[in-house]
């Protein structure tokens, strides 16, 4: 009935503990601070500015968006396809409010978004809707052929007038491309360029992030 429908959240996801939010936020900021000073990045500055010779301060370029989390299912208060089925799934109910350790294995940047890639374990994949990547095919051709869980990420920031939903699409797009060109070995890992302002840093040491599986109502 209507009461049931209104009880569905905006989304389900893994929410980073606040100490971890600080750590991940600082790591991302350090990365952005370094990235925009690299010659390899400056060479492609027009991807971000539209103009050569212009500089960009990536720390200012992106705006942060609320509490850091990895969305599993966007429910849109029940309006999204499969929302109530997801909420009713016994695995979801059983895991609700449990602690999970997510592994953040890469940071990526595009002219639209900055995010962290999440590599899910088999146990965590049980909370991941199996059709996510297939449903992304319309937005990002090639997504349907990627392994289930490829879209898993934490949105760290968005450019002006960009919605956070874009972060997952940007990640999928990078993953459908051939391996990027390694531009620099950074302290955190190796930095690859995928053209059109798309950058990915594979972390030498993945960040282990303590999270709570829960939902957000807004």
Q: Is 215 in the site for ligand A2P (CB under 6 A)?
A: no
Minimal distance, residue 164 CB to ligand A2P, in Å: 4
69 in catalytic set = yes
Distance between CA 26 and CA 30 in Å, rounded?
6
Q: Is 40 within 8 Å of 193 (Cβ atoms)? A: yes
DSSP three-state, residue 58: helix
CA 212, chain centre distance (Å): 17
Minimal distance, residue 214 CB to ligand A2P, in Å: 13
Quick count: other Cβ atoms within 10 Å of Cβ 111?
16
Residue of 22, 63, 163, 185 interacting with ligand A2P (CB under 6 A): 163
Residue of 71, 72, 124, 143 interacting with ligand A2P (CB under 6 A): 71
Pairing of β 11-16 and β 69-74: antiparallel
Residue 157's beta-bridge partner residues? 114
- Of the pair 118, 207, the CB lying nearest ligand A2P is at 118
Given the rule CB under 6 A, which of 42-50, 91-99, 160-168, 204-212 is the region that contacts ligand A2P? 160-168
Q: Is 165 in the site for ligand A2P (CB under 6 A)?
A: yes
44 in catalytic set = no
Distance between CA 130 and CA 191 in Å, rounded?
30
Q: Is 156 within 8 Å of 164 (Cβ atoms)? A: no
Q: Is 131 in the site for ligand A2P (CB under 6 A)?
A: no
Catalytic one of 73, 112, 117, 153: 153
Minimal distance, residue 74 CB to ligand A2P, in Å: 3
Residue 206's contacts (CB-CB under 8 Å, 6 or more residues apart) are 103, 104, 105, 119
Q: Is 167 in the site for ligand A2P (CB under 6 A)?
A: yes
- Active-site residue numbers? 69, 153
Binding-site ranges for ligand A2P (CB under 6 A):
10-11, 71, 74, 155, 163-165, 167-168
């Amino acid at each position: 009935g209507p009461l049931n429908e209104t009880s569905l959240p905006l989304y389900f996801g893994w929410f980073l503990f606040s100490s971890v939010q600080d750590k991940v936020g600082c790591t991302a900021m350090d990365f952005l601070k370094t990235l925009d000073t690299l010659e390899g990045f400056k060479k492609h500055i027009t991807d971000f500015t539209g103009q050569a010779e212009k500089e960009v301060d990536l720390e200012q370029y992106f705006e942060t968006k609320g509490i850091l989390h990895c969305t599993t299912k966007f429910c849109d208060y029940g309006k999204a396809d499969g929302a109530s089925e997801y909420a009713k799934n016994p695995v979801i109910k059983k895991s609700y409010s449990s602690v999970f350790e997510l592994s953040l294995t890469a940071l990526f940047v595009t002219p639209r978004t900055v995010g962290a890639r999440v590599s899910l374990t088999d146990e965590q994949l049980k909370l991941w809707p199996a059709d996510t990547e297939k449903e992304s095919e319309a937005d990002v051709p090639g997504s349907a052929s990627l392994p289930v869980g490829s879209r898993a990420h934490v949105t760290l920031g968005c450019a002006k007038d960009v919605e956070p939903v874009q972060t997952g699409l940007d990640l999928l797009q990078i993953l459908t491309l051939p391996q990027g060109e390694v531009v620099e070995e950074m302290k955190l890992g190796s930095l690859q360029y995928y053209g059109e302002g798309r950058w990915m840093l594979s972390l030498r040491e993945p960040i282990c992030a303590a999270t709570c599986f829960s939902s957000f109502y807004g």
